[in-house]
Amino acid sequence: MDDIDSAILTHLQRDGRLTNRELARLVGVAPSTCLERVRALRSRGVITGYHAAVEPRALGRSLQALVFARLRPLSREVITGFESYLSRLPEVLSVYVVSGDDDFVVHVAVPDIEHLHAFLMDRFSARREVVGFRSSMIYRETAGTRVLAPLPARGAPEDPKSLV
């Protein structure tokens, strides 16, 4: 990763629909160089795909929540089975297997509080491996579209202007 790769990633994360020519201009390289760099980033697994960012409220899902779940017995089979189950549910935006008191954090988007309650009762409590869960409603999201840049090398001073 060098500064050109970082710039390419920054621009593509902000707008994945940029043409190669536009991206090359923004980064300051020839279109052929830009295309080869993007291909290399994809082949190394740095760029894993492109998607459309969607506003849940525009789809009638005005309530978002985090659901924290504890499972028993804890085994690889139980964890992967529950993870697979959750990933197929239309209400689920993302699933995290975590350490600590909870085993899962699940980000959901539903139309309203009644739908959240039904989701928790019908989808979570119905599972035998779930021994407990709690939920927290999300009032506001402020950093949902963060652009990931390579971290500075260990011990390198960070430029405070880059955080503005």
How confident is the model over 113-126, as pLDDT tens digits?
999 999 999 998 88
129 part of a folded domain: yes
Strands (DSSP E) contained in the chain are: 63-71, 92-97, 104-110, 130-138
In 3D space, the residue among 104, 99, 96 whose CA is nearest the CA of residue 69 turns out to be 104
Identity of residue 27 = V
Residue 27 belongs to domain with CATH number: 1.10.10.10
> Are 60 and 102 within one domain?
yes
At 15 the three-state DSSP class reads: coil
pTM of the model: 0.78
Same domain, 17 and 66: no
> 35, 51, 67 — which closes off a domain?
51
Tokens of 73: 């017995």
Same structural domain, 62 and 34: no
Q: Which domain holds residue 85?
A: 56-138
Q: Which residue has the tokens 């139980």?
A: 78
pLDDT tens by residue, 18-75: 999 999 999 999 999 999 999 999 999 999 999 888 889 999 999 999 999 999 999 9
Q: Kindly state whether residues 79 and 127 are assigned to the same domain.
A: yes
Number of domains in the chain: 2
